[in-house]
Amino acid sequence: MRSSSACGPTRPPRRGWGALSVDIARRFGLRIRPPRTERLHVTLHHLGWYDDETDQTAAMAEVRQLAENAAAALRHGPVRVDFDQLLSFTRKPRNLPLVLSGGACLDGVRAMRAALGERLHAAGLRTDPHFTPHLTLFYDDVAVEPQPFLVPGWTASEVLLLDSLQGQSRHVDLARWPLG
């Protein structure tokens, strides 16, 4: 089994996101399975890919400990997470992520990412400089061009460390820290 670890703000409240996904799918003629709102999150830092091999498990445990130390040292207040754009990421030909993203409305998320990135670097972890804050709603083969789409979000009050179990469509909460 392959997994990846990531740090990000609190998941949004579950209420309303499933209906929003269904409405978007209808508007754009997209296929949608029943929404999995428990998986919704905004990733701030992807911390790597790991297999269940012994050496990979040890590496993941080390990265997890360093990430936990970094997140515990983060001093940041709660962050508002709102969206004003809908688009598909089109880096591959099929199974395109349909995401909510945004401009200035996500500046607080970008600032929190930068603060967490400083802590991760201080702990000895590498981070990717490329970042598009987004919330993946679902996947479809039809690309939706970027367009204005205002969606009020939530106030993130904690940071999570997640393990994304690839191919299983599920995430495991590994740890969480309050903001503020």
Q: Are 125 and 80 in contact, with CB atoms under 8 Å apart?
A: no
Fold of 2-178: Cyclic Phosphodiesterase; Chain: A, (3.90.1140)
Residue 129: predicted pLDDT:
85
The pTM score is 0.85
**For every one of its 180 residues, what pLDDT tens digit does the chain have, with 9 covering 90 and above?**
344 455 666 677 777 888 899 999 999 999 877 667 777 889 898 887 666 665 667 777 888 888 889 988 999 999 999 999 999 999 888 889 999 999 999 999 999 999 999 999 999 998 888 889 999 998 899 999 999 999 988 999 999 888 776 666 677 788 888 998
Residue 55: predicted pLDDT:
61
| Interatomic CA distance for residues 51 and 154, integer angstroms | 33
The secondary structure of 124-153 as a DSSP string is: T----S-----EEEEEESSPPPPEEEEEEE
Which residues lie closer than 8 Å to 65 by C-beta, 6 or more apart?
Answer: none
Domain boundaries, the chain: 2-178
State pLDDT tens for residues 122-160. 999 988 888 899 999 988 999 999 999 999 889 999 998
